[in-house]
Amino acid sequence: MNFVWIMIISCLIITTFLSLYGIATRPNMIKKIVLYSTFSDVINVFIILLGYRRSLNPRVPVLHLHPTSEEIAVFEMTSVDPIVQTLVLTAIVIGLAVMLFLTFLVIQVYRLYGTIDTREIAKKSRLRG
């Protein structure tokens, strides 16, 4: 049990660093955006992991319409954290909005410069002054 959780958290951290490395060193803008989406997804999974309840049978935070007080007490003690999930829901929607606008900006950059390679864009913009 211990080993599995160490593995999960290590893989999340490795993926975070790897996607940051890719964003920093790859020259193509679309590659940068794809890796940025991976980065934000890893962070979202990590936030979800903070709200997970490590027990034998955790449950989804959904109840039925007419619960008794005993059912509510059991629900409170066994369900996972709903606040963290709503935070990630908001983060995904805002990330989607940012990603849409970034992609459209890349298309606009290609129209203006004829390339989406950051090195060539740097050269061309230096020539233009």
Partner 1 sequence: MLISEVLLAYSMIVITLLTLVIIFTKDLVNAVVLSAAQSIFFVIALYLLLAVDVALVYLPVAVGGYSLIFLYAIGKTERFEKVAGYSRKLIFLSVMAFMLIAALLIGMLAGGYTGWIPREVTRPLARFVLRSTINHLNKTFWTSSPEAVSATVWDYRGLDTFFEIAVFYGSIAGCLALFRFIDVVFKERPIEKADVGLSIVAKASCKIIFALIAVASASLMLHGHLTPGGGFQGGSAFSIALMVVIIPLSQYFLRGLGLEERRLMLLRSIGLTLIALLILLPAALGGYIFQNQAKLWADFGYPTIIGGFWTSGSIFFLNLFDGMAVAAGFAIIFLILSIPEECFKRLMKVKP
> Residue 119 or residue 126: which is nearer to partner 1 going by CB?
119
Neighbours of 42 (CB within 10 A): 20
> Residue 62 or residue 126: which is nearer to partner 1 going by CB?
62
CA 93 to chain centre: 11
Number of residues binding to partner 1, judged by CB under 8 A: 90
Asked if 127 interacts with partner 1 (CB under 8 A), we say no
Distant-in-sequence, close-in-space partners of 102: CB < 8 Å, separation ≥ 6: 33, 36
By CB under 8 A, what part of segment 37-76 binds partner 1? 37-38, 41-42, 44-45, 48-56, 58-67, 69, 72, 75-76
Instruction: Tell which one of 70, 93, 124, 126 touches partner 1 (CB under 8 A).
Output: 93
- Secondary structure class of 82 (helix, strand, coil): helix
Q: What is the DSSP letter of 36?
A: H
Q: Least distance from C-beta 76 to partner 1, angstroms? A: 5
> Residue 50 or residue 126: which is nearer to partner 1 going by CB?
50
Q: Least distance from C-beta 70 to partner 1, angstroms? A: 11
* Residue among 84, 2, 91 at smallest CA distance from 40: 91
CB 58 within 8 A of CB 80: yes
Instruction: Tell which one of 70, 83, 127, 128 touches partner 1 (CB under 8 A).
Output: 83
